[in-house]
Amino acid sequence: MNPATSVAVILGIATLLAIARLLWRQRRLAAEARGPRWRLVLQLIGQPALAGLLYLTMLPPPLPGKADTLVVATADATESQLRRSAGGSLVALPEAPPLPSAVRVPDLATALRQRPGTSGLRVVGAGLVGRDQDAAGALPVDFVAADLPRGIVQLASPAQVPAGGAFAVHGRANGVPGGRVELRDPAGLRVDAQSLPASGRFQLAGSVRVPGTVQFSLQLLDAAGGRVEQLAVPVWIAQTRPPRVLVLAGAAGPELKYLRRWIADAGMQADARIGIGGGVQLRSGPASLTAADLGQLDVVILDARAWSGLGAGQRQALLEAVRGGLGVLLRADTAPDAALRADLRRLGFQLRQAGRETGTAAVVFPRPDLGEVTASASAAPGAAQPPAQASKPPDVSYRKLGLAGLDAAPLLNAQGGQLLAAWRAHGRGRVGLWTPLDSFRLVLAGHPDLHAQMWSRALAILARPGQTLATVDAHAWPGERITLCGLTGPAQVTAPDGQPTSLVPDPRAGHCAGYWPRQPGWHQLAHAGGTQPFHVHQAAQGRALKAAGQALATRQLAMFAGAAGSRPPAETVPARRGRAWPWLLGLLACAAALWWLERARLHLPDPAAR
């Protein structure tokens, strides 16, 4: 029973008791002492009227809701935009500029509570900040965006880079025609540079050495060389355990020699079994492939002859280990026979060519124009000296197996469009097929970095997965909410000043939690899955980047709300509580009239006359 029903029942019982009292009292009076009949009738009618007025005073009837669009002014909103968006109530969020015609509110949720009849939002300006995006809920959103500021509006860099590895920085600049971007290391030396095309998009590259956290900087220059903006590019160089590698080869050769040399130079723990003819092998590590031995490995690299030399039991043990997370890279150094083609078919590789022919191709690296970019950067004053190997990398030979069009992820591409290596998931692990035959020519031609980059990327993709990182918003500023997902167990963030903050992950939302950083710099996130750092920008940095992120988030709100349905009709708008004071005045008037009827001697016999 709801409160309204309870009040109605109590007042109904009280009314019946009042009517019964009046009738009982009238019955006890002598006939000559009773007043006129109309007097009793008025008193009886007044009891339910008094109860009804008391009910309406306590629970006034709701007023019908009125559908209305709420115009929300955000940062960079202008009077002209607001005049074009007229037609509803106008409120200004704290980020909005001074607007005389707008009502200031602390946040969007407060504005919606004050206006329960709101049926839609028209957001004007830079967009909603994270504080207000959840408050919009399922309301239809119409976004009137302001022009993006001049500066870097998109920026992407890897969350983690292995020690000694390379990383790429992608992004887009707005409003800087003929400009230039430069990537500088923590010492201020120029690492890479690029002139901006008409689209404003850029891609820069850098490299890191020892584990730890460092901060590169990205500088945006205009056509005259003046600095437009400078942004921090934080890089976390992870201290990862070197992969444990097993190399199986049917015969020795230069490709195997330089592969093993790179593995040793990279500090990996490697064992090998290499056939040298006549049934003789050079072996280090386990003599057989047992499940226990394979469980200690991260990657197995073997060639076609080594695969064919494995027994059925060893192949089965190897595939079982792959399903458990092991990575396998099969080098097609010879044309695969029928048995190997059948094995590859069972692993999901449908080969279109027999592999008896070979070809040559130029390998696509993450920065195919690395030499050109390095040369152009070194021509500018203050740039670091370019490496000695600025010549064009040589082409590599590969075995034609017809990998193009497979349902597999690319591992290595050629500039002509050929797929030189691919991989497929197999249980929790991955299996890769590798067709290059002489990648060692890159080392001989003076490009050992490209040779290392090729093999490093392959092993990074195929190796057994290590620590699973939590997902943190790519960019954060003090006072702005960020989202951390994938947290396992209790989580805590430690600020640069050492102040810890405990997080409460929500298991129903992907184990995510919200965090509001109070200061810039490196923060440490600790949870059951491990410890990882994340960076918070200076409050004054990245104004254009922040505005672009807010605009994108608001556009997504508008898109999803528009897909959910149109604006609700007026009858679905929540009703408002009516005013109680008119009913109170009626209650007082009715109570006064009944009191007068009960106390007044009008039309009653005079007791003195008797």
pLDDT per position as a tens digit, 439-468: 999 999 998 888 888 898 888 889 887 667
Q: Identify whether 135 is part of a domain.
A: yes
Quick one: pLDDT at residue 86? 67
Question: Could you give the CA distance from residue 260 to residue 439 in angstroms, rounded to a whole number?
Answer: 13
Q: Is 370 in the same domain as 402?
A: yes
Burial degree of 284 (CB within 10 A; 0-12, 13-18, 19+)? exposed
Q: Is 596 in the same domain as 522?
A: no
- In contact, 486 and 469? CB cutoff 8 Å: yes
Q: Is 361 in the same domain as 486?
A: no
Q: Identify whether 166 is part of a domain.
A: no
Q: Identify whether 32 is part of a domain.
A: yes
Q: Identify whether 541 is part of a domain.
A: no
Which tokens hold the place of 35? 């007043």
Query: Could you identify the residue written with the tokens 């027994």?
Result: 311
- In contact, 532 and 236? CB cutoff 8 Å: yes
What's 445's domain CATH number?
3.40.50
Number of domains in the chain: 4
Quick one: pLDDT at residue 219? 95
Among candidate residues 437, 462, 487, the one where a domain is terminated: 462
- In contact, 533 and 523? CB cutoff 8 Å: yes
Which residues 6+ apart lie within 8 Å of 100 measured at CB? none
Q: Identify whether 396 is part of a domain.
A: yes
Angle (deg, nearest 10), helices 254-265 and 448-462: 80
Question: Could you give the CA distance from residue 529 to residue 513 in angstroms, rounded to a whole number?
Answer: 15
- Record the pTM: 0.61
Q: Identify whether 206 is part of a domain.
A: no
Q: DSSP for 459-503, please give it.
A: HHHHSPP-PPPPEE-S---TTS-EEEES--SSEEEE-TTS-EEEE
Angle (deg, nearest 10), helices 581-599 and 37-58: 160
Question: Could you give the CA distance from residue 530 to residue 526 in angstroms, rounded to a whole number?
Answer: 6
- Residues (pLDDT < 70) of the chain are 1, 31-35, 63-67, 86-87, 278-279, 286-287, 354-355, 366-390, 404-407, 466-467, 561-577, 600-610
Q: Is 325 in the same domain as 296?
A: yes
Which tokens hold the place of 74? 């955000």
Q: Is 300 in the same domain as 388?
A: yes
Q: Is 396 in the same domain as 371?
A: yes
Q: DSSP for 369-411, please give it.
A: THHHHHHHHHTSTTBPPPPS--SPPPPEEEE----TT-SSEEE
Question: Could you give the CA distance from residue 224 to residue 248 in angstroms, rounded to a whole number?
Answer: 57
Quick one: pLDDT at residue 38? 77
- In contact, 483 and 512? CB cutoff 8 Å: yes
Quick one: pLDDT at residue 387? 42
- CB half-sphere exposure, 312, CA atoms < 13 A: 1
Structural domain boundaries enclosing 78: 68-149+546-572
Query: Could you identify the residue written with the tokens 């029942």?
Result: 9
Q: For the chain, give the number of residues.
A: 610
Q: Is 22 in the same domain as 127?
A: no
What's 504's domain CATH number?
2.60.40.10
Which tokens hold the place of 415? 């500039």
Quick one: pLDDT at residue 374? 30
Q: Is 440 in the same domain as 337?
A: yes
Q: Is 45 in the same domain as 116?
A: no
Quick one: pLDDT at residue 355? 65
Question: Could you give the CA distance from residue 465 to residue 454 in angstroms, rounded to a whole number?
Answer: 19
Burial degree of 115 (CB within 10 A; 0-12, 13-18, 19+)? middle
Quick one: pLDDT at residue 386? 40
Quick one: pLDDT at residue 230? 95
Q: Identify whether 155 is part of a domain.
A: no
Cα-to-chain-centroid distance, residue 539: 21
* CA proximity to 348, closest of 335, 326, 324, 330: 330
Quick one: pLDDT at residue 431? 92
Q: Is 490 in the same domain as 550?
A: no
Q: Is 387 in the same domain as 290?
A: yes
Question: Could you give the CA distance from residue 370 to residue 461 in angstroms, rounded to a whole number?
Answer: 22
The continuous run of DSSP H or E covering 83 comes out as helix 79-84
* CA proximity to 568, closest of 62, 140, 110: 140
Q: Is 444 in the same domain as 513?
A: no
Q: Identify whether 209 is part of a domain.
A: no
